Structure 1
C-alpha cells in the first residue's frame, strides 16, 4: 500500500469516529458482538454494533446479551412499560421504570425504540463537465420531521440549478411546511404552506395554502403508504399575464418499501394539484427511486423525477424528466 493511500485511510478514519457502545451479545457459536440493543421483532434481534452498524440476528442464534439502551416493553398483560434496559441469560429480564420484568421468553418478545422526535435526510448532488460544452448541475434537498405528542411537523426544502456555458438554463426553488395532527393511529389531518419559484416556467412564483385528511397504511410486506387528499388556495404569478388565484384539489402520496433481506428501501412519492374551475389546468410532481445505505448515516440514492405543468412557458415542454 502506498504512503498516500495509507494517509487517506487514516484521514478517513479520523473524520468518521466510531462511538464505543457498552453492551454485548453472545451468539450460540461463541461469537461476541459489542454494541447495544436496537429492537426485537417477531423473528430477529436487531443489534447496533460498534463496527458493523445494525446487525439482524435470528432469535434462535442468540445465547445471551446485556444492553443499557432503554426502550418501551410490552408485558404479558399487554401493558407498555417505559425505559426498559434488557438482559438475557436463558430468559430475558427487563429493568424498567415500573419495576423489574422477569422470565420474559425471547421467542415471543417484541420491543422497539421509542419514535425519534427529530428525523431528516439531506441529499446533495453536483455534476460538472468541461470541454466543448461547460455545464454545472446542482441539486440540494432537505426533508425534516419533528414529532411532539400527536403533532408532526414536516419541512421540505429543495434547490436546483443548471448552467450551460455560463448561462443559467434551469433554476427551481421550493419549500413546504406541513403540520399534521394524528387523531387516531392511522388517520390524521393536516395544514400546509408552500412556496415555489421557477424562472423557466410560465408560473414564475406560486404560493399554496391548504389542508385536508390523510391515512397511513402498513401492509404485510412492510410497505408503508401515506395518502393525503385535500384542497388548497393557489396564488400564482405569471411571467407575462400578472397574477391569478385558484381553488385547487390536492392529492399526495408517499410509499416506502424496505426490500426484504436487505437494508435498501424503494420509495415513490407524488403530488397532484388541479384547479376546481378547470380540471385541465393541473400540475404534477413525482419521484421514484431506491435508497442504499453506505456507512453510518451516509446513503446513496438512485432516483427518477417527473414534473408536469399544463401551462408551460413559450418554448418549453409540459413534462420535465431527470
Structure 2
C-alpha cells in the first residue's frame, strides 16, 4: 500500500487557559514561499486562521492556506489545504482532540485528500515562557490521486508541540508529527515545522517559517522529501 504524502496542520496555539470564554481571534498572513522536492519554485502564499474559546475547557481552531505558481505560462506549484481541530481539557494536563482536514496538491500526486482523527494529549508545562505538549491518536485518510486511483489508510499519529517566548514580541514555535500505517510498518511519514515570529507594529508581525516532510513510501514517481520556506507579514485581529 502506498502512503499519501501530505500531512495537514495541527494547532500550535496555546491551550484554553490563555483565552477568555467567547474570545475569537483571527490571523492573516501574506508573503513569499519557496519549495524543493516534488516542486521547485518561488511564489506568493496566503494563510488565514482563527481560534475560538467555546467554554473554559473547550477551544476550536481553523486554518487554511494556499499558493499557486507559474513560470513562462507553465504551472510550477499548487497547494490548497484546510484543517479544523477541537480541543477539550479534562484537567490541567490531559486533553482530548478531534480533527478534520482537506488537501489538494497535484505536485505530490493528490487531486483531493481527506483526513479525520481522534486522540489525547498531555501538557508538560504551559507558562509565559514555554509550552510543551504531546499528542497521540488514530487518523483515517482517503485520497483521490492524479493517476485516477483512490487510496485509504489507517494511521497511528503522534506529535509534539513546543513554543518558546523570548519576550513579549518574539517567539519560536516548533512542531513534530509522525504517522505510522497500522497495516504496513514501512509506510510512515515524518513532518517537522518551525517558525520564528516577531512583532513589528500594533497587530502586525514578521514570520519566518520552515517545513520539511519525509514520506518513506510516496505516491509512484514522487520524491520522498519536500521542503517549504516562508517569509510573511502577519496581521492579528
With the length of structure 2 as denominator, give the TM-score of the two structures.
0.76
Who is 1:291 aligned against? 197
Who is 1:162 aligned against? 69
Who is 1:124 aligned against? 30
Shift, 1:184, TM fit: 0.8
After superposition, what is the alpha-carbon deviation per residue over 1:218-241, rounded to whole angstroms, capped at 9, x for unaligned?
Answer: 267821023211001111222226
Who is 1:307 aligned against? 213
Preserved CA contact (<8 Å) 1:230 1:249: yes
Preserved CA contact (<8 Å) 1:227 1:253: yes
Which structure has greater strand proportion? 2
Who is 1:277 aligned against? 183
Distance 1:113 1:195 in 2: 27
Distance 2:221 2:26 in 1: 37
1:232 pairs with one of 130, 139, 149: 139
Question: Cα gap change, 1:151/1:114 in structure 2, threshold over 3 Å: closer, same or farther?
Answer: closer
Distance 1:312 1:165 in 2: 29
After superposition, what is the alpha-carbon deviation per residue over 1:63-97, rounded to whole angstroms, capped at 9, x for unaligned?
Answer: xxxxxxxxxxxxxxxxxxxxxxxxxxxxxxxxxxx
After superposition, what is the alpha-carbon deviation per residue over 1:23-50, rounded to whole angstroms, capped at 9, x for unaligned?
Answer: xxxxxxxxxxxxxxxxxxxxxxxxxxxx
Aligned ranges 1:2-21 → 2 under 5 Å: none
Preserved CA contact (<8 Å) 2:22 2:54: no
Shift, 1:126, TM fit: 4.2
Distance 1:295 1:257 in 2: 21
Aligned ranges 1:88-127 → 2 under 5 Å: 114=20, 117-126=23-32
Q: Which moved more, 1:184-193 or 1:279-288?
A: 279-288
Greater relative CO (CA pairs within 8 A, separation 6+) = 2
Question: Cα gap change, 1:315/1:179 in structure 2, threshold over 3 Å: closer, same or farther?
Answer: same
Distance 1:163 1:136 in 2: 9
Preserved CA contact (<8 Å) 2:87 2:98: yes
Shift, 1:211, TM fit: 0.1
| Root-mean-square deviation (Å) | 2.6
Preserved CA contact (<8 Å) 1:136 1:164: no
Who is 1:144 aligned against? 50
- Give the secondary structure class of the aligned counterpart of 1:269: strand
1:153 pairs with one of 60, 64, 67: 60
Aligned ranges 1:6-85 → 2 under 5 Å: none
Q: Which moved more, 1:218-227 or 1:245-254?
A: 218-227
Query: How many residues are matched?
Result: 204
After superposition, what is the alpha-carbon deviation per residue over 1:41-64, rounded to whole angstroms, capped at 9, x for unaligned?
Answer: xxxxxxxxxxxxxxxxxxxxxxxx
Who is 2:122 aligned against? 215
Preserved CA contact (<8 Å) 2:88 2:95: yes
- Give the secondary structure class of the aligned counterpart of 1:200: helix
- Report whether the alignment pairs 1:246 with 2:153: yes
